[in-house]
Amino acid sequence: MFPLARNILRSVKIRSFQQIRARQSHKKHSPDFHDKYGDTILASGSIFCVVAWLFTATQVGIVWNLSPVGRVTPKEWNDK
């Protein structure tokens, strides 16, 4: 069984990843959409997220439940 499997693998001529990558690197690389606009889209998306969070944090009016230290006074103890 082992020699049969070995002969089948040899006949298929499996190329390793390095061989395929080396072959592709000899081709002339033309810039695609990600090469042209990838950094711009990443930067604009990051800026949009930061602005959206800043707007939400400052303008929407959400009570952020900050620490009550100094604002809460204890009630008088009632001994009945």
CA-CA-CA-CA torsion for 7, 9, 10, 14, nearest 10 degrees? Answer: 180
Cα separation of the two ends of the chain: 93
Q: Which two tokens stand for residue 75?
A: 């009630």
Q: What is the pLDDT of residue 61?
A: 78
Q: Which tokens sit at 10?
A: 């040899």
For every one of its 80 residues, what pLDDT tens digit does the chain have, with 9 covering 90 and above? 677 777 666 665 555 666 666 665 666 678 888 889 999 999 999 999 999 999 988 888 777 677 777 777 778 888 76
Q: How many helices (H) and strands (E) does the chain have?
A: 3, 0
